[in-house]
């Protein structure tokens, strides 16, 4: 024991001597505190982290956020499709308003010289509520309806008709059928309908940025910057650079000794597996800090949830509580249970959802990681999960068929985005009603990415060492590779099973049904739709409802084909759902027999690590 104490004291003395020995070598780094403290302005805008002016030291900003200050009045940011003028910067919510450097003219709108916006998606993204204008070119005048004629842009060349519609216009689909080319441009939400099309385009739009949050560093008296040698965020302080914030002014040597003692105690009393898992997650977060949302302390989580007072429900990996952010926004806070597989589900959710920005995918607003205390902060969905609206025993439907149909289409769009719209293809592996959340207007959002897998878009299949998902929704190939390779088609199968449940208002495997022929709803409904028999479904009011129901059934039966190659991709599913019912044919029988009467005792199949 005395030898260990002597060794510890000797180490402390060594650290103090070492600290003062390297103190001088840190002088160059300390200069960044002075350099980054100089206020920079371009016109009326204050330019600070993550932005930096080209003439300024790049260490004061984030990579890719360099701007040029034209004539000392206009901040210019360069994107792959050209230069953009920055009009406003909102540092508090990490957003800014930009417009094209070269103003749009009527000739540009009419001549198809406008291109889709292109920006680095690892640094910037459009807000989920961003309005967009669709410019459709080379439209066929003979098909122009009275409603669409109001969207016509007056061009000098009548043979080259251009239409302009906003993204919420119900005529958008019909317009796309009669026009050859489409360009989508984001626009400011507050100016819709005011002025000409070129005026609306020239007012610009809002972008959010992805970079380390600077508030903690600034609050501690530091200046935010970036260390290009380690490619990590730095907080430049009066004494030296620190990882996130400047520590209180005190004896640095004493702080080093205290840290050493704390580390020794942590190593003494921590469990080995927990320590290894924490290191893995911390390394993951540092490696993805460019994309991860705001990180909160556990004390912040307790404050925003009012000490976990209002429990909303229980998810696959933890309990969910209602919370409120400092800016007043309501959120749903998921407190994760004890992690399995070194925190795989935590990393899956952070890695997957932080890459997304889509109206039909839930937004991850923040997270907390303090050892075993882990939490995920999502946008609040007023109407909860789809689960409670479709599984009702002998009760009248709460949702109309039109609403259910729009929910089905929205989920399809969200899955199509996950499979094709991201830099990396995201496979969800747990699509079911419980994981579909509904906002106050019953717009669906895909949630719970604990079992998700990322794979490059060019790869059509992935390797897995075990099944994952929930019984009743898992594709056959996930259980047994004899049915084919696991791919994005596995999510298509889960989507099809879920849509059938939405139609029937019952779980596809129902052990309470008395008649064996009706125990498996997909089997039951296929036989009836094949014979064109009445389905006897509640709430079908008119021919439009019957068409919606039939379309949902036919599409879902295509999705649950046993052979993955026979299932349509989600892009085709969206087309089928939004297209004409007459263009759909009944698929082959997707199964050879009804499944066993008793479902597995444990319906939740967890990933095998």
Taken in order 102, 108, 112, 113, is the CA torsion positive or negative? negative
Give the span between the Cα atoms of 61 and 354, in whole angstroms: 22
**Backbone conformation region of residue 138, classed left if phi is above 0, alpha if psi is from -120 to 50, else beta:** left
Mean per-residue pLDDT for 411-415? 95
The structure tokens listed for 329 are 């926004």
In CATH, the number for domain 270-377 is 3.30.200.20
Continuous segment of H or E residues that includes residue 259 = helix 252-269
- Contact present, 475 and 444 (Cβ < 8 Å): no
Q: What is the pLDDT of residue 515?
A: 38
Q: What is the pLDDT of residue 291?
A: 54
Topology match between the domains 270-377 and 387-605: no
Of residues 144 and 14, the one with the higher pLDDT is 144
Respond yes or no: is residue 327 known to be catalytic: no
Q: List pLDDT tens digits, range 188-203.
A: 765 545 677 888 888 8
Q: Are strands 330-336 and 373-379 parallel, antiparallel or unpaired?
A: antiparallel
- Assess whether pLDDT exceeds 80 at residue 61: yes
Q: Of 450, 279, 297, which is closest to residue 364 (Cα–Cα)?
A: 450
At residue 333 the predicted structure's pLDDT band, cuts being 50, 70 and 90, is very high
CA distance from start to end of the chain? 41
In this predicted structure, which of 206-210, 450-454, 523-527 has the lowest mean pLDDT?
523-527
Q: List pLDDT tens digits, range 106-120.
A: 677 776 677 778 888
Cis amide prior to 231 (ω within 30 degrees): no
Average pLDDT taken over every residue of the chain: 77
Give the span between the Cα atoms of 530 and 525, in whole angstroms: 8
Give the span between the Cα atoms of 570 and 427, in whole angstroms: 12
Q: What is the pLDDT of residue 156?
A: 67
Q: List pLDDT tens digits, range 129-158.
A: 778 888 888 787 777 777 777 788 877 665
Where exactly are the structural domains of the chain?
Answer: 66-209, 270-377, 387-605
Give the span between the Cα atoms of 88 and 43, in whole angstroms: 11
Q: What is the pLDDT of residue 393?
A: 55
- Assess whether pLDDT exceeds 90 at residue 413: yes
In CATH, the number for domain 387-605 is 1.10.510.10
Q: Are strands 66-70 and 52-53 parallel, antiparallel or unpaired?
A: parallel
Mean per-residue pLDDT for 206-226? 85
Q: What is the pLDDT of residue 119?
A: 81
At residue 372 the predicted structure's pLDDT band, cuts being 50, 70 and 90, is confident
Q: What is the pLDDT of residue 304?
A: 95
CB under 8 A, 24+ apart: contacts of 81-85 = 81/115, 81/116, 81/117, 81/118, 81/119, 84/204, 85/204
Give the span between the Cα atoms of 203 and 188, in whole angstroms: 7
Q: What is the pLDDT of residue 588?
A: 86
Percentage above 90 pLDDT, the chain: 27
Backbone angles phi, psi at 467, to 5 degrees: -75, 150
Question: Is 334 annotated as contributing to ligand binding?
Answer: yes
At residue 394 the predicted structure's pLDDT band, cuts being 50, 70 and 90, is very low
Q: What is the pLDDT of residue 278?
A: 64
Q: What is the pLDDT of residue 599?
A: 36
Of residues 463 and 29, the one with the higher pLDDT is 463
What torsion do the CA atoms of 482, 484, 488, 493 make, to the nearest 10 degrees? -70
Question: Model-level pTM greater than 0.75?
Answer: no
Continuous segment of H or E residues that includes residue 242 = strand 241-242
- Assess whether pLDDT exceeds 70 at residue 555: yes
- Assess whether pLDDT exceeds 80 at residue 523: no
Q: Which of 300, 430, 448, 491 is flagged as catalytic?
A: 430
Mean per-residue pLDDT for 445-468? 73
Three-state secondary structure string covering 19-51: HHHHHHHHHHHHHHHHHHHCCEEECCEEECCCC
Q: What angle do CA 525, 527, 531 make, to 5 degrees?
A: 115
Q: List pLDDT tens digits, range 281-326.
A: 666 565 555 456 788 999 999 999 999 999 988 766 688 999 999 8
Of residues 602 and 379, the one with the higher pLDDT is 379
Give the span between the Cα atoms of 602 and 580, in whole angstroms: 40
- Contact present, 16 and 256 (Cβ < 8 Å): yes
Which single residue is written with the structure tokens 């308003």?
97
Mean per-residue pLDDT for 573-599? 73
């Amino acid at each position: 024991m005395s030898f260990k104490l002597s060794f510890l004291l000797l180490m402390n003395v060594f650290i103090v001597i070492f600290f003062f020995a390297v103190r001088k070598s840190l002088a160059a780094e300390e200069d960044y505190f002075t350099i980054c403290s100089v206020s920079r302005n371009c016109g009326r805008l204050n330019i600070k982290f993550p932005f930096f002016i080209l003439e300024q030291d790049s260490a004061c900003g984030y990579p890719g956020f360099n701007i040029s200050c034209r004539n000392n009045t206009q901040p210019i940011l360069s994107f792959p499709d050209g230069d953009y003028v920055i009009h406003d910067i909102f540092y508090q919510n990490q957003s800014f308003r930009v417009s094209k450097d070269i103003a749009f003219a009527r000739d540009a709108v009419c001549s198809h010289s406008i291109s889709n916006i292109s920006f680095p998606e690892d640094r910037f993204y459009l807000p989920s509520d961003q309005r967009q204008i669709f410019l459709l070119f080379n439209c066929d005048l003979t098909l122009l309806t009275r409603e669409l004629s109001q969207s016509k842009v007056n061009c000098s060349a009548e043979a080259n008709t251009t239409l302009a519609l906003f993204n919420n216009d119900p005529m958008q689909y019909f317009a796309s059928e009669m026009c050859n080319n489409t360009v989508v441009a984001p626009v400011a939400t507050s100016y819709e309908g005011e002025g000409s099309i070129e005026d609306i385009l020239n007012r610009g739009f809002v972008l959010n940025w992805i970079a380390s949050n600077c508030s903690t560093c600034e609050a501690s008296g530091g200046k935010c910057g970036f260390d290009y040698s380690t490619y990590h965020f730095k907080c430049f302080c009066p004494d030296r650079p620190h990882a996130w914030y400047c520590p209180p002014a005190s004896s640095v040597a004493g702080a080093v000794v205290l840290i050493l003692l704390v580390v020794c105690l942590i190593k003494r009393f921590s469990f080995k597996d927990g320590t290894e898992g924490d290191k893995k997650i911390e390394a993951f977060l540092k490696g993805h800090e460019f994309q991860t949302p705001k990180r909160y302390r556990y004390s912040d989580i307790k404050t925003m949830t009012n000490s976990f007072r209002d429990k909303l429900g229980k998810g696959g990996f933890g309990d969910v509580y209602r919370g409120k952010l400092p800016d007043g926004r309501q959120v749903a806070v998921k407190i994760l249970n004890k992690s399995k597989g070194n925190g795989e589900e935590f990393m899956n959710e952070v890695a997957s959802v932080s890459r997304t920005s889509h109206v039909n995918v839930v937004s991850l607003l923040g997270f907390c990681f303090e050892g075993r205390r882990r939490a995920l902060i999502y946008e609040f969905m007023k109407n909860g999960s789809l689960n409670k609206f479709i599984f009702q025993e002998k009760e009248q439907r709460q949702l109309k068929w039109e609403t259910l149909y729009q929910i089905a289409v929205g989920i399809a769009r969200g899955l199509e985005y996950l499979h094709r719209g991201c830099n990396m293809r995201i496979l969800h592996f747990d699509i079911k009603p419980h994981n579909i959340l509904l906002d106050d207007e019953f717009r669906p959002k895909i949630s719970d990415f604990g079992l998700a897998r990322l794979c490059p878009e060019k790869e059509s299949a992935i390797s897995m060492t075990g099944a994952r998902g929930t019984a009743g929704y898992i594709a056959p190939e996930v259980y047994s590779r004899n049915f084919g390779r696991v791919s994005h088609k596995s999510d298509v199968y889960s989507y099809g099973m879920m849509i059938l449940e939405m139609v029937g208002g019952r779980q596809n495997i129902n052990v309470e049904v008395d008649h064996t022929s009706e125990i498996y709803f997909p089997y039951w409904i296929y036989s009836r739709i094949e014979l064109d028999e009445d389905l006897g479904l509640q709430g079908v009011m008119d021919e439009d409802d019957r068409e919606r129901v039939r379309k949902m059934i036919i599409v879902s039966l295509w999705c649950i084909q046993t052979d993955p190659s026979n299932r349509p991709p989600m892009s085709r599913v969206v087309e089928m759902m939004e297209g004409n019912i007459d263009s759909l044919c009944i698929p082959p029988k997707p199964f050879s027999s009804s499944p066993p009467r008793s479902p597995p005792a444990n319906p939740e199949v967890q990933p095998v690590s």
